[in-house]
Every structure is written in structure tokens, then in C-alpha cells.
Amino acid sequence: MTDSIKTVCPYCGVGCGLEVSPPAQPGKAVHRDSEGTPIWQVRGDRSHPSSQGLVCVKGATIAESLHKDRLLYPMMRESLGQPFRRVSWDEALDQIASRIQALRATQGADAICMYGSGQFHTEDYYVAQKLMKGCLGTNNFDANSRLCMSSAVAGYVQSLGSDGPPCCYDDLDQTDCAFLIGTNTAECHPIIFNRLRKHHKQNHHVKLIVVDPRRTPTAEAADLHLAIQPGTDIDLMNGIAYLLLRWNYLDTQFLDECTQGFSEYAEVIRHYPPERVARRCGIRKDDLELAARHWGEAKRVLSLWSMGLNQSSEGTAKVRTLINLHLMTGDIGKPGAGPFSLTGQPNAMGGREAGGLSHLLPGYRFVNNPQHRAEVEQFWGLPAGAISPQPGRTAWQMIEGLEQGEVGLLWIAATNPVVSMPDVERTKQALRQSPFTIYQEAYYPTETTAYAHVLLPAAQWSEAPGTMTNSERRVTLCPQFRTPPGEARPDWVIFAEIGQRLGFGRQFAFNSAADVHAEFVQLTRGRPCDMTGISHARLKQEGPLQWPCPEQSTVTKDSRLKSESSSRLYTNLRFNTPDGRARFGAYHSRGLAEPPDPDYPFVLTTGRLYGHWHTQTRTGRIDKIRKMHPQPFIEIHPRDAEKLGIQEGNWVEVSSRRGTARFPAQLTQAIAPGTVFVPMHWGELWAEAAEANALTHPEMCPSSLQPELKACAVQVKLLTPNRASSEPTISASAAV
């Protein structure tokens, strides 16, 4: 490739490096998509330390979606159901600013909400925090990351004193035992899985344990697959802890010197003898014991998890229960070991760093901490007390706020809640009641478009510079290499325009994304996620960098600030708690928020497929991926199918207490009897009545406030007459 540009994949949190080059290369045919449109060429960036040249189908095909179905101009309408009319940016922004002013004067700032996205660049996140939490004085900014990994954040904070995955991808090559729980890594984080799989294959002593109710492609590769009943993760992990204690696999020096709360924890786990645990989890006692034996005998245990633990009404407890195992055996702060959460979105990590959840402030600060608020207020040049001490509304609480008439303006950006929220019928109904919804998005339509009063066209990845942080805390610069279509603008520019219109010109006098980044990193100084040694210029010159990466006082000959970045956290075995000790969290299992019962006898579990990304806003527009996954489906065990008279390919109706959806059946032994599985990717643009989240409920973890999207109780019945399977179609817009 010539004139290639290095960037990072904008899909999942693995954060693979990409190298892109223009459609036309000297002496070569123009590179085109299947419709003949010239498109940029994409391949893996061999120099990117996180992915070393590897890339999955999503990254490889990203260029095919960039030009399709784009929202080109600001548009407005008085009420839902009316046609949109094209307006100028000035008209749209003036209207939004005057709505915000009016609401502040009448209902107060807390009537204003913004719902953002792990697709944002860190710069977008940062400017949005400054606008909402600083200038407007409401903490009602939340992101779709709330639905994805907020339990991991809460678990890390409560157990280790701070957010931040302690591990790095090199640990995948150095572990003796990989314990994967609640993650279908092979499909959802495929490049991480490739690396782990290679290490596993090449080193016979390395054990791979996978805990998942489904026999996923990840589980297929395992030495030991524990197909536990949904909702019994804590039982299992407490059962492993029981055996580690009984067999004396403890790192007593680490326990004594580096932890607190072990005796209370030991009191809880004594209630989890293997016979009882095996029965509750629906697994063999021998397998439970083998898992504990593998963990205990390994010198270095690495655990990986994602939404299978996080999306739970006891998500934080699950995360902490997993961290407990690492604390018992001292498997943290050393190569090949540690509790490693895999982020779903490309920049969920950057969101955490910039304060992009409703209880956070930039630099891993908290809105309920007076010192943190004072530091940020002072830095932003705002009066004391400008930032509210109350955590703002979370994603679901915004929906509840609409229902109760307490939210007068909802600003949604770079996400598609009409598909991804739990209980989507209730979500849609709440959005119909919204007095004023702004939808800032790159694509048109998405399912959420139909619920907006104002549409703002956003520049997307490749069209605006910015940074993203991947799961191993590595920051990569995403340069601009394409011109935004129509009048699309970068997200942070739109937020800054509103800030200026509201009278905060000084706070939003940024000339570039590099300026925004330079300001943001100053708020990380001295914090666990210190990035003061990172700048756009340095990333451009040196490539991706991991934090912590503090600015050093020494300046080299060429005047570039140099600093060392850190691969692993807690290598000195001191944690970010006041006394430097990690905390055990002792929890009994509460099980599912909605267990099966005679009326709804099946547990529905939801998940993702290899090729598709979330609600298909991009991947649904890529032929290769649509052919790979042409339609939604439900997995059901043959024994259950026989009882219900269902055969392979029959259409079935699935109902929960909240809604109904229809899918063709796939009979498979990969799912346990009593459990069914549905992928979450299909909204009403892509298939009729196949929304997984029509069925799910919004019960949340009390600590992380993350909804239990992974499981709910359903009934399943054969649809007659059978519907022939059909190709998914895209409709012009979702009905309101």
C-alpha cells in the first residue's frame, strides 16, 4: 500500500490497528465495494502492538459502510410522525440552545439529558462532560456503555480502589490458565481469542476453562467447559473459592500484606461445598473440582469476562466475586495473571477516562466526591458548586424520566436505543412522550430516527480526528482521512457550538481535537489514568501508547516530552484504596431477577454473532456480513423442541411479560435444555418482530445500575402455519 494511514478499528474494544489507503493506487485498479463504489482499502496494521496485523471481518469490511445511508443535513420537525424539513446548522443549534435555556429556567437543568456512546472519540466525551456536568450543572450524561460494562467499572473500583483493567494483551501469551466467564471471546473479541488460542495450542500445560450456559465457539476450544445454569455464576465462583481454601492454594503472604476482608469472605464461601454448588449450577462435581484444581495449580491465572457477567442484576457482585479468586491466589499485578474485563465498544475505556457515565467526572473522578468536583470546577473556570453532587440519570433512568414527565429534552448521540435498550416497547413508548428529542447520528435511518424531533448529522470514524482507548489501556490516534459527507460535523464540535451559544465561549474555545485532548489530559494528572504524557502529536509520531503515561519533567533534545507507559497495573501490589490493600467482596448468589416459572418456563439468554456489530447500523449495510448472518434465529435444545413440536427451521413465537418476537428455530445441543438463545442485533429495520430486547427487562444491578440484558423468563411456542424464512429487508423508517 502507498500513502496508507494508520488508525484503529472503530468496532470492538480489542482496538485492532488498521492501515487504510485510498481507493485509487498508482498502477492498480480502483478498489470498489460490491456495488461498484470506490472505497478505501483496509488491512491490519502489523506495527500496532495490540493486534500485530490481525483483523476480523468487521474491521476488514469497515470501509464498505462509510458512504451508505448517511445523514447529510440537519433536519427538524414539530412532532413525531411529521416529515422532517431540512434546516441550516444555525437554525438547528439556535433552536436547541433556546430549548435548553427555557428548560433551565422552568424545570431546571436536571430536565436535560444526554445519552452518548462508546463509539465517541475521547474528545467527544470530554466536551460533552464539560457542557452537561460543568456548564449546565446536571450530571445527566450517560452512555450506552452503561449497558455494556458499568459493572466492571463498579467491581474494579470497589475491589481495587479504582477503575482500570490491570492486565495487557501480552498476558494472553504468558498465562498458565485462562478462565473465561460470561464471554464468547471467539466471536465477540476474535483477535484476542486468536492470540489466546495460539498460546493454548502451543503450550500443552496451559489450561483454558470456559464458563457459559451455551457451547459457543469459545467453549468448543476449551479444555473444560462449565455449562452452568444462567444466573449461577456467583455460586460457581464461590464454589471454586471453597475448594481453593480447602486445598490450601492460598497466597498467604499476599492475603496478609495486600488485602482486606478475607475472613468475612471465608465465612461466606464455607456455604458453597462442591456438592451443593454442582447441583445449583447444573454441572458435574468433578468438573467443578477440576476447575478449582486448574486455578490452584497454575502459577499465573488470567480471567477474561465481558457482558455475561456485567449485564446482570448482580453484575458488580459477580465481578467482585471473580476478583476475589485472584486475590486469594495472588494472581494479579504480574505477567500472565489478573482479572481482565473486555470492553464491548471501541472507546468505552476512553469514556470512563473522560467521565462519560452519570456518576463520573474526567480523570477517574466521581461526582459525589467534593474534592473531585472542586478540582474539575476550578480547572474548567466555573464557580464552586457548578457541578451537582448528585449522580445523574443512567440510561434506563432517562427512560423513566420521560415516562414521569421529568425529562424535557433528550439528546441521543451515536447510539440506537430503540434496539439496544431493555424492554424496547416501553422504551419506544417513553420516547413517544419525549417533548424534544435530538438525535445526532452518522446514518439515516436507524430505528431511533423515527423518535427524533431534530436530526444532527455527525461525522464518523475516518471523518474527524480523535483518540480511542482499547481494553488494554492503549490509546490510538484515529486521524481524519475522508471528508465528512454533506454538512456532517464532529460530535465535539456540535457540543462546543451549543456551549458557546449558551454563553460559555471561554470554556469551548477549542481550535482542534488536538486542543481538546491536550486540555483533557491535564485533568488526568496524578490520577490512576494519568495520560499527561500523551498527545495527538506524540501518538502520530510514536504510535499507540498505554496509560498510565505521565508527563516527565525531563525534555529530550528534540523537545518532545517523553514518558514511559505501563503495561500492567498494580505490579507493586499496592492498590488504589486508602491503605493500599485490595478488598474482598463477599456475596451470596441472588440468582436471576426474573427466574423461569410455569407461565414463562424458559430462560432466554441474548448475545452477539461474529460478523454483526450491535444494532447493525454499519454491519447491516455490508453485503458480506449480511450474507454471513442473513436472519435472526433462536437456538433451542432438541429435547425442548420435541416437547413443543418444533422442528429445525420452524418459526416460533417467543413471549415474555413485556413483549413478543418471532424467529426461525435452530435446534442445537449447544444450548442447555430449559434455555434458549437469541442474538441481539436485529431491530425493525432489518427484520420483522425479531427484537431480542422486546423480551428483556430493565432490572438493574443496584451498584452499577446496569440492566440484566442477558437473561429473562420466556415462553416459546410453534407458530402455525409456518412462515418461510425470508431475506431481511430494510424499511424506509421505523413506524412510530
Residues that bind ligand SF4 (CB under 6 A): 9, 11-12, 14-16, 51, 55-56, 58-59, 189-191
Q: Which is nearer to ligand SF4, 9 or 87 (CB)?
A: 9
Q: How many secondary structure helices (H) and strands (E) does the chain include?
A: 24, 28
The minimum distance between CB 57 and ligand SF4, in angstroms, equals 7
Q: How far is the CB of 704 from ligand SF4 (least distance, A)?
A: 24
d(CA 502, CA 93): 10
DSSP annotation string for 473-520 = SEEEEE---SPPSTT-B-HHHHHHHHHHHTT-TGGG--SSHHHHHHHH
Q: Please say which residue, 11 or 305, places its beta carbon nearer to ligand SF4.
A: 11
DSSP H helical ranges for 337-445:
348-353, 370-380, 395-403, 417-420, 424-432
The Cα–Cα gap between 486 and 74 comes to 10
Closer residue to ligand SF4, CB minimum distance, 482 or 614: 614
**Strand duo 582-583 + 259-260: pairing:** parallel
* Under 8 Å between Cβ of 403 and 433: yes
Q: Which is nearer to ligand SF4, 146 or 195 (CB)?
A: 195
CB of 192 to ligand SF4, least distance (A): 7
Between 337 and 478, whose beta carbon lies closer to ligand SF4? 478
Q: Beta-carbon neighbour count of residue 403 at 10 Å?
A: 15
Of the pair 269, 680, the CB lying nearest ligand SF4 is at 680
Closest to ligand SF4 by CB, 20 vs 240, is 20
Cis peptide before 23 (omega within 30 of 0): no
Distance of CA 170 to the CA centre of its chain: 22
Q: How far is the CB of 186 from ligand SF4 (least distance, A)?
A: 11
CA distance 354 to 363: 6
Cα 344 to its chain centre, rounded Å, is 4
Nearer to ligand SF4 by Cβ, of 191 and 716: the residue is 191
CA distances (Å), origin 494, targets 441, 508, 510: 11, 11, 12
Q: Which of 38, 36, 43, 34 is nearest to 1 (CA)?
A: 43
**Shortest Cβ 50–ligand SF4 spacing (Å):** 8
- The nearest distance, CB 193 to ligand SF4, in angstroms, is 9
CB of 59 to ligand SF4, least distance (A): 3
Distance CA 664, CA 646 (A): 10
Nearest-approach distance from CB 56 to ligand SF4, in angstroms: 3
Nearer Cβ to ligand SF4 (312/471): 471
Nearest Cα residue to 50 out of 210, 207, 194: 194
Q: Which amino acid is at 212?
A: D
How far apart, in whole angstroms, are the C-alpha atoms of residue 629 and residue 648?
A: 17
Q: Are 490 and 513 in contact (CB under 8 A)?
A: yes
Closest approach of Cβ 350 to ligand SF4, in Å? Answer: 14
| Residues 6+ away with beta carbon under 8 Å from 552 | 533, 561, 562, 563, 564
CB of 7 or CB of 696, closer to ligand SF4: 7
Q: Smallest distance, Å, CB 628 to ligand SF4?
A: 13
β-strands 85-86, 75-76 pairing: antiparallel
**Of residues 12 and 678, the one with the C-beta less far from ligand SF4:** 12
User: From CA 507, how far away is CA 377, in angstroms rounded?
Assistant: 11
Of the pair 55, 424, the CB lying nearest ligand SF4 is at 55
Q: How far is CA 56 from the centre of its chain?
A: 18
CB of 45 to ligand SF4, least distance (A): 10
Residue showing the smallest CB distance to ligand SF4 in the complex? 59
To the nearest 10 degrees (0 to 180), the angle between helices 285-297 and 315-329 is: 50
Q: Judged by CB, which is closer to ligand SF4: 190, or 548?
A: 190
Question: What is the nearest approach in angstroms of ligand SF4 to the Cβ of residue 178?
Answer: 17
Nearer of residues 9 and 210 to ligand SF4, judged by Cβ: 9
- Residue 28 CB partners (closer than 8 Å, separation 6+): none
Q: What share of the chain is helix, strand, coil (3-state, %, to 5)?
A: 35, 15, 50
Q: Name the minimum Å distance from CB 415 to ligand SF4.
A: 17
Separation of CA 384 from chain center: 33
From the CB of 41, what's the least distance to ligand SF4, in Å? 15
